[in-house]
Amino acid sequence: MILELMSETITDTGYECFVAKNVDAAVEIVKTTPGIVLIVTDLKMPGKTGADLIKIVEAELKQEMKFIVMSGHGSPRIEENGVDIASYPFIRKPLGIDSLIEKISSVLEAK
């Protein structure tokens, strides 16, 4: 339900938004949808993690994208798979939807 609310709010703000409930679904969306420039991911998910998603998109799919990482667990660090989470914009949960929209805007506007 929270994922749907976030998606609706992001869409209402004027951004096109795709929703994936796990890493494999997100990878499939990236593979089949040209023009995606930003992925917002939770760090902790069942199975594969947000760090796994970053690694797959960057290393395996060879796609340059911006990422925003969310987590309610600890602080940014280098994950077991070698991804340095501290090098990506980070939002600590719980988060307000306005904070997320502001972060999305600032990341997309950054060069």
- Tens digit of pLDDT at every position of the chain (111 positions): 788 888 999 999 999 999 999 999 999 999 999 999 999 999 988 889 999 999 999 988 888 899 999 988 777 788 878 898 889 999 998 888 899 999 999 999 986
Residue 99 CA to residue 30 CA, distance in Å, equals 25
Give the pLDDT score at 107. 95
Reported as type and span, the H/E element at residue 3 is helix 2-12
Q: Give domain limits for the chain.
A: 2-104
pLDDT tens track for 86-105 = 899 999 988 888 999 999 99
The label of the residue with tokens 């798979």 reads 81
Model pLDDT, residue 27:
96
User: Under DSSP, is residue 55 helix (H, G, I), strand (E, B) or coil?
Assistant: helix
CATH number assigned to the domain covering 2-104: 3.40.50.2300
Task: Tokens for 61, please give them.
Answer: 């799919």
